[in-house]
Amino acid sequence: MAPTLNLKEPAGNQSSWETLLPDFPKGPLCKYRKKASFNWKEMAVLLDGEDIIQLKNRIFSALESDPLFAHRPGEDLCREKYQELTFLRCKRLFEYDFLTPQEIVENPLKMFNMVICIGMYDWSPCLQYFLHCGVFAGTILSASKRFADFVKQVYSMEIFGCFALTELSHGTNTKGIRTTATFDRNTQEFIINTPDFEAAKFWVGNMGKHATHAVVYAQLYTPDGQCQGLHSFIVQIRDTKTLLPVPGVMVGDIGKKLGQNGLDNGFATFHNVRIPKENILNIAGDVTAEGKYSSSIKDVKERFSAALGSLSTGRILITALSTTNLKLALSIAIRFSAARRQFGPTDDEEIPVLEYQTQQWRLLPYLAAAYALDYFSKSLFENFVEFYAGLLTKQRSQRQADLGREIHALSAASKPLSSWTAQQAAQECREACGGHGYLAMNRLGEIRNDNDPNCTYEGDNNVLLQQTSSYLMSWMNCIKDKAPFESPFGTINVLQDYHHILGWKFTAISVEDCMDSSVPLAAYKWLVCYLLRESDLKLSKEKQSGRSDFEAKNNCQVYYCRSLAIAFIEQTVLQRYHAYTHDPNIPSTLQPVLKNLSALYGLWSLSKHLAVLYQGGYASGEQAGRFIQDAILELCYRLKDDAVALVDVFAPPDFILNSPIGKASGELYKNMWAEILQGSKALNRPSWWAEFCINKPVIGRLRSRL
């Protein structure tokens, strides 16, 4: 079975919730808060637990009280100033030291939540901090104990790190990386070299301005001229006392991006830069003093996967970051929709736009997705903690290898699902807030632009889905032979009943039948098995027609393997959330609304696959599709009165959310008007006023006389 996170009993009594979670200010949103079917504070304590809520409050309060984190309404920072401010804020996070190493070991979810809390304020300092302390330091930690002193310098900020994998001409295709590391046995050094400008390290976060050291991925060459594949090395790129490049390194900033411009993404080239032999991160293999290559991992593919193991960390984090962006956008759009009144049954009565079916249908399925993906991202993180513990203790068991494969397959699909969902939701939320959503001050544009790279970095979404589908296709031999199989987290166990499930049909006979997530879950199980069968058949046909493995696989992506990977991850998310929401230990006061969210997420996601359900014979006749559509609309209607309370559960304080139309009071127009008038130049005449008032154009002066 898929793992279920430990249920957090809403500890303490209502008075302790009041201390942890103060009431919201009175205002236009009170009407909806009173109509909610559940206590939002009880829900918050259930989902996070008091410990995590206290941590969040501590972080949010620290940022709001610190002048360095103050917002400046109406002020546009130039990119260099924004990068400086980002670095100062990152540095301040070290001074706060919100969590001790002991606290992280005792409850790794605290670290997960700390990153998210800082990101809710601004992703630039959050990512700068995480790339240094998480990705850079984590990669080194998983290599060898000999780097323990080096890691201390990371956490004391004596050095500043980055993760240098991608190059100007190679991103997702990491096997094509062309930076080289050649071992010189005479000096016991590796020589790091960039063969040409296309092999320059590129897009590396923290490298543009600040990083002093990099984990550099390069093709390892032994003295016999043999390439041993991709390995990682610690390379100093700047002097720690001057921040000037070290000899042989050219390093710089790649320029302005569409978003996250506080984060300095950079490039670097290496001209025969020598580093000590000990600087190889011997995760996948090592070189002896005589120049002989050795690795405890004999399989070349497994060795490559081990070298890039830290990418799963990034993908799991991006799953959570994207889900957080989804929550931020929904907090703004749903509060706006509940307070904004337009039109009505009579000319004298305007109603909140949330009362309109179209607005509910546009926003509330994304709200259900936010709850389902939030639960999934936390459970996936806990799965990863189990895997990482085995990595640190150098376990080489079959279970450890299976954990790695399953984590890889899950994170390679959860990143696309969450980042695309957040990206589509941010745009929908922007449009759902009308013209006010287009104002930068209301932050929806920033959320959308800052989420955008989540669809690309740590692996292009469409390419990553191929890794998940390949994992699923690898089980076909076991399925055909009817051999027993399972995976550590149980995500592929549904395939054990593959032959039986393919005979299933849609059995609901009313809309009410569809109102539980067991209905879309059953449909998803069939969908995954059907798409797996069709993908396998398609691949076989392509090969039988004489196409190479490469061509055959390429011709099986659209409508086959890609759809398979998406259906699989949606089914996995729904499976876990269904199990959680139907757990008998969930308080009876919260279970109805959670079950509605689970059903809505399942049906809404499934509705995008209706054509395949009919095509494959799972559904027939017009009733099945209509039941699903009507159930979606009915669930949106049932959740409408709970929507504000549901975003209250995860919305950060007003200072962190930083959106006048998303403030907890719901006073849209007062908040916007105040923000506009705070702008330093809102009422100023333009500096170019004389170009209108004095220097009038001479009409036709520049017309051609020919």
Residue reference for tokens 């509940």? 338
Neighbouring-strand partners of residue 193: 180
**First CA to last CA distance, the chain:** 82
What is the rounded distance in angstroms from the CA atom of residue 93 to the CA atom of residue 326? 24
In whole angstroms, what separates CA 349 from the centre of its chain?
A: 42
SS (H, E, C) 642-661: CHHHHHHHHCCCHHHHCCHH
Q: Which of 642, 666, 649, 644 is closest to 592 using CA atoms?
A: 642
Q: Which SS3 state, helix, strand or coil, does residue 697 take?
A: coil
Non-local (6+) Cβ contacts of 678 within 8 A are 73, 74
What is the rounded distance in angstroms from the CA atom of residue 49 to the CA atom of residue 320? 18
Q: Determine the Cα angle at 438 with ends 435 and 440, to 5°.
A: 135
CB atoms closer than 10 angstroms to residue 347: 7
CB atoms closer than 10 angstroms to residue 587: 16
What is the rounded distance in angstroms from the CA atom of residue 378 to the CA atom of residue 71? 30
Q: Which one of 50, 406, 458, 675 is the catalytic residue?
A: 458
**Beta strand residue intervals within 108-226, DSSP E:** 161-164, 180-184, 189-193, 201-205, 213-221
What is the rounded distance in angstroms from the CA atom of residue 417 to the CA atom of residue 433? 24
Q: Is the dihedral of CA 525, 526, 527, 529 positive or negative?
A: positive
**Does 458 participate in catalysis according to the annotation?**
yes
Q: Is the dihedral of CA 241, 242, 243, 244 positive or negative?
A: negative
In whole angstroms, how large is the CA radius of gyration of the chain? Answer: 27
**Residue 73 near residue 659 (C-beta atoms within 8 A):** no
Dig out the tokens for 627 from the structure: 């039941």
**Residue 660 near residue 675 (C-beta atoms within 8 A):** yes
b vs e for 87-108, b when ≥16 Cβ sit within 10 Å of the residue's Cβ? bebbbbbeeeebbeeeeeeebb
CB atoms closer than 10 angstroms to residue 391: 20
Non-local (6+) Cβ contacts of 696 within 8 A are none
**Residue 150 near residue 234 (C-beta atoms within 8 A):** yes
> What is the DSSP code (8-state) at residue 258?
S
Amino acid at 381: F
Report the phi/psi class of residue 628: left, alpha or beta, with left for phi > 0 and alpha for psi in -120 to 50: alpha
**Beta strand residue intervals within 420-517, DSSP E:** none
b vs e for 432-455, b when ≥16 Cβ sit within 10 Å of the residue's Cβ? bbeebbebebbbbbbbbebbbbbb
Dig out the tokens for 117 from the structure: 């809390």
Q: Which of 187, 374, 349, 215 is closest to 281 using CA atoms?
A: 215
Q: Which of 373, 355, 319, 330 is closest to 601 using CA atoms?
A: 373
Dig out the tokens for 687 from the structure: 């500096």
Q: Determine the Cα angle at 317 with ends 313 and 319, to 5°.
A: 120
Q: Which residues are catalytic?
A: 458
